[in-house]
């Protein structure tokens, strides 16, 4: 249940970013709150279920996911999370963890990817995806981000992600960059990582999937991005669409070598 | 990961959890009879009412009881609260939240040999005093701490 | 059906610390769903932990305990290999029992 | 659900890279320009979103200002900045009755609310101003953001003069009037807040009785 890296990191940042106008007591209080939560993260309930699901014969083909290739070879889970998104030769596509899982579920288990993608978050097969990403990410806890960039498609998705990150629109003229483009900012009391550089990018990107205490649910990166776009007053990003994968590529590559994954973390 | 035996007790018994525990020989019938969810205490809307339901009367203050929790909670849905008592023979601990619709959040009965040191997480609708009620050596004691609940960003 | 608990029990030779995560919605009965209808209360009411068959904690929860509850406590004694068993029951009669070996 | 764009173009780019590899020291990107990526990004943006609830895909449409503000790695040149700012100031709609100050208590409610215009909001819901997300405003509210400057004691410092009232009004209506490419939304221009609501927020900031200035 130890997640002291996270607690220490959040505590440090909360104090470091405290503006002179902000009473230190507030930042200190919030840091203590987060520290207390780091112990006993309910994400572990999803991790347990995820490990079982990986090994459970399911779907029309009654097969497990144990032959799923997350980029490190069939069945290799450890270390996979910190190299995603990456290019996969079999689909000839850059895929994040969730879209890759859809591929595996469809090819190995016969569960139609399109239907899973259309399922609302927290329901049906999406619930299973949430458990799987919790376990898979936990298997890379403490490892540094190391996304490959050798393939031209990986470079292309990174470049598209950078542009999507800076794209401002909607009724409020917001883009990802509005909240995540500067050091030491907060929205209400939440620290905002500057996702345009490490190690903040690793701290932000490397926290998801995470248990959201506000909803009591496990949120995948897809869901995190979905809700960012909602709050930006943007239209609905299609699950597993290229904009979501490109953004993850941009964030992950920016995080490369600068910090470790603490996912699944616990967030307000 | 520790291996866990994951068995759901067969439902269908009207006896409830404690009946099952008796059947399994885990607790005595006497223990089971003393137990049962304390509905009047959990549904009490005011402090006096809750204390009365718990048989606590007017508890005394005590330096030997500690309530721990954050000064500020980022989210009222999950507020970590811990209670420790250094009083001899602490047998019962309860956590009460003044401004919740029902004040009593949780109670713990501690058999001999169990430390008076429990932690859990509670919901708070707003900034409020949180009370730790302790029964030790037959008497009740109570301490409190204010926990502020703040609003979140991005449209709440 | 309720999902399994995550239980950890660790002995330092003189005492055993138990940490429990439960999978439960802990509905307060005051929340409204998207259509504006009240979601009925659904929460754990009682929990019992035993060590090698002896009760070491009896807890009662109201709806103010957080969703996916967390509980931590300690008892004297306990050795590696001992069994800690945790059971809960909720206000709708759902129940769950899980057991862990002390590490 | 696979959205494939320019796969062919990339394949060609790879071939071109292989052919030119000796000449450009293996930097594969040399054959794909930043403009190519701009085009790819535009296509990905257009293909990745769908409408939901009250939000249609036209939310992605950018005006000239937002196109310029979405460019990264360089700032606006002075001419463009001045042109954007002048145009923004020119389109500010001043209060129909000439009154800038409303009720600060209502202003505080609007400043606290982050509701409105997302796909989970209803069309007839009153929009909030989201002010506390980015600004410190009253002393009492400790849950405030720091993306924008502190507005605590704003009226006390700047005075409740007509000049200040007009400045604050225009800043809320279209903040690009004073700072092109600011992070702040164009509350009036985009109809996020109406005249009455803006009046209340001006009161929150400038009314001497408002806790912003009185506490």
Distances (CA, A) of D210 to B107, D101, D203: 44, 11, 7
Are residues D157 and D173 both part of a single domain?
Answer: yes
Please give the Cα distance from A129 to A139 (Å, whole number): 15
**In this structure, are residues D31 and D17 in contact, taking their beta carbons and an 8 Å threshold?**
yes
Are residues D193 and D153 both part of a single domain?
Answer: yes
For chain C, say whether A120 makes contact (Cβ under 8 Å).
no
Q: With contacts defined as CB-CB under 8 Å, which chain B residues touch C101?
A: 2-3
Report the neighbours of C using a cutoff of 3 or more CB pairs below 8 angstroms.
Answer: A, B
Are residues D138 and D92 both part of a single domain?
Answer: yes
Domain segments of chain B: what residues?
A: 13-37, 44-149
Fold of B44-149: Immunoglobulin-like (2.60.40)
Distances (CA, A) of D64 to D87, D172, D176, D190: 11, 20, 12, 15
CA distance C4 to chain B (A): 6
The interface residues of chain C toward chain B in range 74-103, judged by CB-CB distance below 8 A, are 74-77, 85, 87-89, 91, 93-101, 103
pLDDT > 90: percent of chain C = 89
The per-residue pLDDT for A171 is 97
Does the CA dihedral B1-B5-B8-B14 come out positive or negative?
negative
Using one digit for the tens of pLDDT, what is the confidence trace for C9-62?
999 999 999 999 999 999 999 888 878 899 999 999 999 999 999 999 999 999
**In this structure, are residues C24 and A70 in contact, taking their beta carbons and an 8 Å threshold?**
no
In a domain, D133, yes or no: yes
- State the Rg of chain C over Cα: 15
CB contact under 8 A, D44 and A91: no
Low-confidence residues of chain B: pLDDT under 70: 1-35, 151-156
CATH number, position D159: 1.10.760.10
The per-residue pLDDT for C1 is 57
Residues with Cβ within 8 Å of residue D212, at least 6 apart in sequence:
D104, D137, D138, D151, D152, D153, D154, D155, D156, D204, D205
The secondary element (H helix, E strand) that includes residue D167 is helix D162-173
A115/D21: higher pLDDT: A115
CB contact under 8 A, A40 and C67: no
Tally of domains within chain D: 2
For chain C, say whether A1 makes contact (Cβ under 8 Å).
yes
Tokens at A111, concatenated: 């569960």
Please give the Cα distance from B129 to B102 (Å, whole number): 13
CB contact under 8 A, C4 and A42: no
- Strand segments (E) across chain D: 49-50
CB contact under 8 A, A36 and B155: no
Please give the Cα distance from D132 to B4 (Å, whole number): 47
The per-residue pLDDT for C14 is 95
Q: With contacts defined as CB-CB under 8 Å, which chain B residues touch A187?
A: 153-154
Using one digit for the tens of pLDDT, what is the confidence trace for D150-189?
999 999 999 999 999 999 999 999 999 999 999 999 999 9
Tokens at A98, concatenated: 């969730």
Q: With contacts defined as CB-CB under 8 Å, which chain B residues touch A34?
A: 74
Largest CA distance in chain D: 73
Distance, CA of A238 to chain centre: 16
Pairing of strands C83-90, B139-149: unpaired
CA distance B121 to chain A (A): 9
Are residues D172 and D94 both part of a single domain?
Answer: yes
**In this structure, are residues D31 and A177 in contact, taking their beta carbons and an 8 Å threshold?**
no
List the single best residue of B114, B122, B124, B147 to mutate versus C (max C Cβ within 10 A). B114
Please give the Cα distance from D102 to A94 (Å, whole number): 53
| Closest CA in chain B for residue C10 | B2
- Whether the predicted pLDDT of D7 surpasses 60: no
Query: How crowded is the C-beta side of A149, counted as CA atoms within 13 Å?
Result: 19
CB contact under 8 A, A42 and C70: yes
- The interface pTM score, or ipTM, of the predicted complex is 0.84
Question: Which residue segment(s) compose the domain that D12 sits in?
Answer: 7-76
The interface residues of chain D toward chain A in range 21-40, judged by CB-CB distance below 8 A, are 28-29, 32, 34, 37-38, 40
Are residues D149 and D209 both part of a single domain?
Answer: yes
**In this structure, are residues D133 and B153 in contact, taking their beta carbons and an 8 Å threshold?**
yes
Please give the Cα distance from B150 to D146 (Å, whole number): 16
β-sheet bridge partners, residue B142: B133
Are residues D26 and D106 both part of a single domain?
Answer: no
Q: With contacts defined as CB-CB under 8 Å, which chain B residues touch A189?
A: 72, 74, 150, 152-153
Low-confidence residues of chain A: pLDDT under 50: 1-22
The per-residue pLDDT for B20 is 54
| Closest CA in chain B for residue D116 | B155
β-sheet bridge partners, residue B51: none
Does the CA dihedral C11-C12-C13-C18 come out positive or negative?
negative
In a domain, D2, yes or no: no
CB contact under 8 A, C66 and B123: yes
**In this structure, are residues B59 and B133 in contact, taking their beta carbons and an 8 Å threshold?**
yes
Q: With contacts defined as CB-CB under 8 Å, which chain B residues touch C7?
A: 2, 4
Please give the Cα distance from A126 to A251 (Å, whole number): 23
- Strands, sheet with A265-267, edge to edge from the N-terminal-most edge strand: A217-219, A210-212, A265-267
C43: left (phi over 0), alpha (psi -120 to 50) or beta: beta
Which domains, and CATH codes, for chain C? 6-101 (2.60.40.10)
Domain end (from D54, D76, D98): D76
Which domains, and CATH codes, for chain A? 1-40 (no CATH), 43-138 (1.10.760.10), 144-267 (1.10.760.10)
For chain D, say whether B55 makes contact (Cβ under 8 Å).
no
Catalytic residues of A: 228
Are residues D51 and D86 both part of a single domain?
Answer: no
In a domain, D1, yes or no: no
Does the CA dihedral C50-C57-B31-C65 come out positive or negative?
negative
Using one digit for the tens of pLDDT, what is the confidence trace for D59-88?
999 999 999 999 987 788 999 999 999 999
Domain end (from D60, D76, D92): D76
Please give the Cα distance from D46 to D36 (Å, whole number): 16
End-to-end CA distance of chain C: 28
B19: left (phi over 0), alpha (psi -120 to 50) or beta: alpha
**In this structure, are residues A122 and A131 in contact, taking their beta carbons and an 8 Å threshold?**
no
**In this structure, are residues C74 and C11 in contact, taking their beta carbons and an 8 Å threshold?**
no
CA distance B85 to chain C (A): 12
CB contact under 8 A, B120 and C72: yes
Nearest beta carbon to residue B113 from set C50, C77, C103: C77
List the single best residue of B68, B77, B78, B149 to mutate versus A (max A Cβ within 10 A). B78
The interface residues of chain B toward chain C in range 12-31, judged by CB-CB distance below 8 A, are 16-18, 20-21, 25-27, 31
List the single best residue of D24, D26, D70, D181 to mutate versus A (max A Cβ within 10 A). D70
Please give the Cα distance from D142 to A25 (Å, whole number): 10
Q: With contacts defined as CB-CB under 8 Å, which chain C residues touch B119?
A: 70-73
The per-residue pLDDT for A23 is 52
* DSSP count for chain B of H helices, then E strands: 4, 9
For chain A, say whether D48 makes contact (Cβ under 8 Å).
yes
CA proximity to B118, closest of B98, B90, B146, B143: B90
**In this structure, are residues A241 and D47 in contact, taking their beta carbons and an 8 Å threshold?**
yes
- Whether the predicted pLDDT of D50 surpasses 80: yes
pLDDT > 90: percent of chain B = 68
Tokens at C81, concatenated: 């290999």
Residues with Cβ within 8 Å of residue A137, at least 6 apart in sequence:
A81, A97, A209, A261, A263, A264
Using one digit for the tens of pLDDT, what is the confidence trace for C25-36?
999 998 888 788
Using one digit for the tens of pLDDT, what is the confidence trace for D102-144?
999 999 999 999 999 999 999 988 999 999 999 999 999 999 9
């Amino acid at each position: 249940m130890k997640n002291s890296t996270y607690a220490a990191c959040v505590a440090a940042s909360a104090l470091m970013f405290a503006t002179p106008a902000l009473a230190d007591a507030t930042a200190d209080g919030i840091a203590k709150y987060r520290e207390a939560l780091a112990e006993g993260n309910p994400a572990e309930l999803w991790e347990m279920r995820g490990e079982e699901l990986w090994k459970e014969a399911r779907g029309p083909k009654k097969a497990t996911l144990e032959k799923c290739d997350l980029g490190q070879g069939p069945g290799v889970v450890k270390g996979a999370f910190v190299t995603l998104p990456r290019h996969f030769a079999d689909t000839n596509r850059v895929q994040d963890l969730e879209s890759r899982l859809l591929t595996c579920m469809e090819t190995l288990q016969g569960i139609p990817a399109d239907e899973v993608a259309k399922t609302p978050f927290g329901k049906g097969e999406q619930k299973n995806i949430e458990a799987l990403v919790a376990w898979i990410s936990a298997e890379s806890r403490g490892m540094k981000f190391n996304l490959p960039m050798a393939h031209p498609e990986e470079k292309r998705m990174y470049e598209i992600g950078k542009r999507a990150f800076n794209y401002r629109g909607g009724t409020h003229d917001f883009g990802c960059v509005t909240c995540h483009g500067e050091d030491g900012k907060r929205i209400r009391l939440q620290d905002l990582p500057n996702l345009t550089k490490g190690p903040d990018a690793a701290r932000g990107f490397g926290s998801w999937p995470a248990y959201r205490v506000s909803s009591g649910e496990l949120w995948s990166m897809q869901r995190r991005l979905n809700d960012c776009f909602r709050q930006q007053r943007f239209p609905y990003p299609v699950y597993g669409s290229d904009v979501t994968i490109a953004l993850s590529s941009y964030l992950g590559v920016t995080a490369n070598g600068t910090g470790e994954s603490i996912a699944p973390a616990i967030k307000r | 990961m520790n291996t866990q035996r994951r068995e759901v007790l067969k439902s269908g018994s009207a006896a409830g959890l404690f009946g099952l525990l008796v059947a399994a020989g885990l607790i005595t019938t006497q223990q089971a009879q003393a137990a049962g969810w304390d509905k009047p205490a959990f549904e009490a809307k005011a402090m006096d009412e809750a204390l009365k339901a718990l048989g606590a009367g007017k508890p005394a203050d005590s330096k030997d009881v500690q309530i721990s929790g954050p000064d500020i909670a980022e989210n009222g849905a999950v507020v970590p609260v811990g209670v420790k008592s250094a009083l001899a023979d602490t047998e019962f601990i309860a956590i009460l939240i003044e401004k919740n619709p029902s004040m009593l959040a949780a109670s713990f009965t501690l058999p001999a040999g169990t430390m008076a040191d429990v932690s859990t997480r509670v919901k708070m609708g707003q900034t409020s005093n949180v009370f730790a009620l302790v029964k030790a050596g037959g008497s009740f004691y109570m301490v409190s701490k204010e926990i502020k609940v703040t609003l979140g960003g991005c449209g709440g | 059906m309720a999902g399994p608990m995550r239980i950890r029990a660790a002995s330092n030779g003189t005492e055993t610390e138990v940490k429990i995560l439960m999978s439960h919605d802990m509905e307060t009965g005051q929340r409204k769903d998207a259509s504006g209808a009240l979601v009925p209360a659904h929460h754990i009411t009682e929990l019992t932990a035993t060590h090698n068959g002896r009760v070491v904690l009896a807890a009662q929860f109201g709806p103010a305990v957080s969703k996916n509850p967390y509980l931590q406590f300690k008892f004297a004694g306990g050795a590696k290999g001992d069994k800690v068993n945790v059971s809960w029951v909720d206000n709708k009669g759902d129940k769950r029992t899980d057991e862990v070996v002390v590490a | 659900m696979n959205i494939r764009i320019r796969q062919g173009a990339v394949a060609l780019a790879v071939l071109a890279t292989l052919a030119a590899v000796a000449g450009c020291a293996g930097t594969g990107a040399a054959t794909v320009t930043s403009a190519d990526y701009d085009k790819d990004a535009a296509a990905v943006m257009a293909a990745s979103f769908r409408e939901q609830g009250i939000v249609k895909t036209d939310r992605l449409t950018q005006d000239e200002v937002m196109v310029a503000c979405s460019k990264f790695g360089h700032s606006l040149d002075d001419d463009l900045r001045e042109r954007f700012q002048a145009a923004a100031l020119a389109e500010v709609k001043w209060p129909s009755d000439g009154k800038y100050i409303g009720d600060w208590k209502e202003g505080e409610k609007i400043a606290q609310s982050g509701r409105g215009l997302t796909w989970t909001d209803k069309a007839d819901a009153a929009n909030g101003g989201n002010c506390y997300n980015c600004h410190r405003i009253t002393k009492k509210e400790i849950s405030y953001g720091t993306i924008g400057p502190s507005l605590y004691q704003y009226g006390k410092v700047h005075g409740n003069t007509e000049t200040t009232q007009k400045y604050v009004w225009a800043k809320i209506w279209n903040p690009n009037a004073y700072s092109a490419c600011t992070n702040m939304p164009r509350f009036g221009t985009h109809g996020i807040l109406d005249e009455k609501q803006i009046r209340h927020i001006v009161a929150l900031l400038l009314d001497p009785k408002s806790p912003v200035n009185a506490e």
